[in-house]
Amino acid sequence: MPELITIAVESELPAPDEVKEFHCGAKPICVANIGGIYSAMDGLCPHRGGPLGQGMVEGGKVVCPWHGWAWDPVTGATEQDARMKVAVYPVRIESGDVIAEV
C-alpha cells in the first residue's frame, strides 16, 4: 500500500528541466522538473544502478549520468529496453512540503 512521504520542501525542488536527488530513508528518489511539472521516480537506474537524481533532463526524459539511458518521468519506461521500467510516484506540493506517494 502506498505511503505519503514528505521528501523535500518546495524551495529545494530542481529548476526547470533539471533533476535532483532526495532520500526517503535509505531509498533515493529522483525528482524531475520537466517544463515546470514535477515528477518523482526511483532514484536508481535499473540498467546499472546509476544515480538518476544526479543526471540531466534531455528531450523531456531523465538521463542517467552513467550510461545515458533515458527514462520517461511519466511512465518510467526507457527506449533502450522495453522490459525495464523505474517506479514513478505521484507527487504534490502541500503547504510548501513536497509529498510523494511511495
Count the Cβ atoms, other than its own, within 10 Å of residue 38.
17
* Domain boundaries, given as residue ranges, for the chain: 4-101
The reported pLDDT for the residue numbered 96 is: 96
Of residues 26 and 50, which shows the higher confidence score? 50
The reported pLDDT for the residue numbered 24 is: 85
Backbone angles phi, psi at 52, to 5 degrees: -60, -35
Going across the sheet that includes 61-63, the strands are 56-58, 61-63, 70-71
Tens of pLDDT, residues 30-84: 999 999 999 999 999 999 999 999 999 999 999 999 999 999 999 999 999 999 9
pTM, full prediction: 0.93
Confidence band (pLDDT; 50, 70, 90) for 12? Answer: very high
Alpha carbon separation from 50 to 45, 62, 86 (Å, rounded): 5, 12, 12
Fold of 4-101: Rieske Iron-sulfur Protein (2.102.10)
The reported pLDDT for the residue numbered 1 is: 72
Residue in the block written with cell 529545494? 12
Distance, in Å, from the CA atom of 48 to the CA atom of 64, rounded to the nearest integer, reads 10
